Amino acid sequence: MYYIRRCLHDYSDDECIAILRVTREAMADDSRLLIVEQIMDNPPKPFVAAIDVMMATISGKERTQQGFRHIAEAAGLKVLNFWRAEGADAGVVECGKA
């Protein structure tokens, strides 16, 4: 099991893909990667949109489910599930090796 918590939103897609590729290389075929981050709705809630704008000032960003799928697939991972309590902004993105 691998765990990344509230880290990837600090980085651009290219930097996240590089981080996830290194993680993927360390994973066994049956390993899971759990990513805990805000998961933006489309359209986003005002608070999450404000955080997204703030993160853009340091080249980071908040991501939608589609955004997480994009970086995971580009790193050789597949999203297995999104775990999120009803009404919560943050959630868990469960990934495995593609």
Q: How far apart are CA 24 and CA 75, in angstroms?
A: 7
Residue 84, helix vs strand vs coil = coil
**pLDDT tens figures, 35-85:** 999 999 989 989 889 999 999 999 999 999 999 999 999 999 999 999 999
Active-site residues, by number, are: 9
How high is the pLDDT of residue 87? 87
Instruction: Work out how many domains the chain is built from and give that number.
Output: 1
Residues 8-37, mean pLDDT to the nearest whole number: 98
For residue 29, pLDDT over 90 is answered with: yes
Residue whose C-alpha is closest to residue 38's, from 62, 5, 13, 70: 62
CATH of the domain at 65: 3.40.50.150
pTM: 0.94
Strand pairing class (33-40; 2-5): parallel
For 21, the domain range is 2-97
